Amino acid sequence: MASNNNEKISFKDFILAITVFSVTVLGVGGLQCENGFVVVTRERRVGDEITMIQICCQDVTCGPGAKAVACEEGDPYSSACDPCETGTRQETTTTLAMGSTSCEPNVDCNKRFRVTKFAGNSTSNSVCGDCFLGYRNANNQQITKECLVNNCPPGQEPERDGCQNCSSMHFSATMDYLPCKKRTK
């Protein structure tokens, strides 16, 4: 298949590569590797030509916080464990044979309008807490879901998952997500 570096492999070619990989792993046919090695399907680029190839790589076992990385073509012993990038995690042990070759992104509590109770790291996901002031849960959503703007009518201010009346000596004249303001006189 001819391609330049900006184009991606077609869906059909991707499915074909996965099918060939699956058949080989199951031992039905295709490339067979010696014990301790696994079949890896890789992209080979020669100029503008991209082809999918299968190679044998030494399997590696990586602990939490790292991902298994397949060997380079021509060096079956170059498989390695790479640490997860900042903002991503791998919570379990991974191997090439398991197909776990990536780290998952940690939840960004700020993007969900929630307080961060625990900032995720390379082995654990972030833990989000309550909604920011002015935001609320929608229909008793789980705490991992995004919060919604909590607009309250005049005379009320946001509370945890709704609105409450302004206390005496406070007011709110517009529909918004801000707390009631103190009366000056």
Query: 11-105: what CATH class?
Result: mainly beta
**Domain-wise residue ranges, the chain:** 11-105, 109-182
pLDDT tens-digit series, residues 46-65: 889 999 889 999 999 999 99
Phi, psi of 112, rounded to the nearest 5 degrees: -100, 5
Report field, pTM of the whole predicted structure over 0.75: no
User: How far is residue 68's CA from residue 82's CA, in Å, rounded to a whole number?
Assistant: 7
Contact 115, 130 (CB under 8 A): yes
User: How far is residue 37's CA from residue 106's CA, in Å, rounded to a whole number?
Assistant: 31
User: How far is residue 129's CA from residue 145's CA, in Å, rounded to a whole number?
Assistant: 10
Q: How far is CA 103 from CA 22, 90, 123, in A?
A: 22, 5, 9
Contact 123, 91 (CB under 8 A): yes
* Model pLDDT, residue 106: 96
* Model pLDDT, residue 140: 60
Top-ranked range on mean pLDDT: pick from 14-23, 32-41, 143-152, 153-162: 32-41
pLDDT tens-digit series, residues 56-113: 999 999 999 999 999 998 999 999 999 999 999 999 999 999 887 789 999 999 998 8
pLDDT tens-digit series, residues 105-155: 999 999 988 999 999 999 999 999 888 877 877 766 555 578 888 788 899
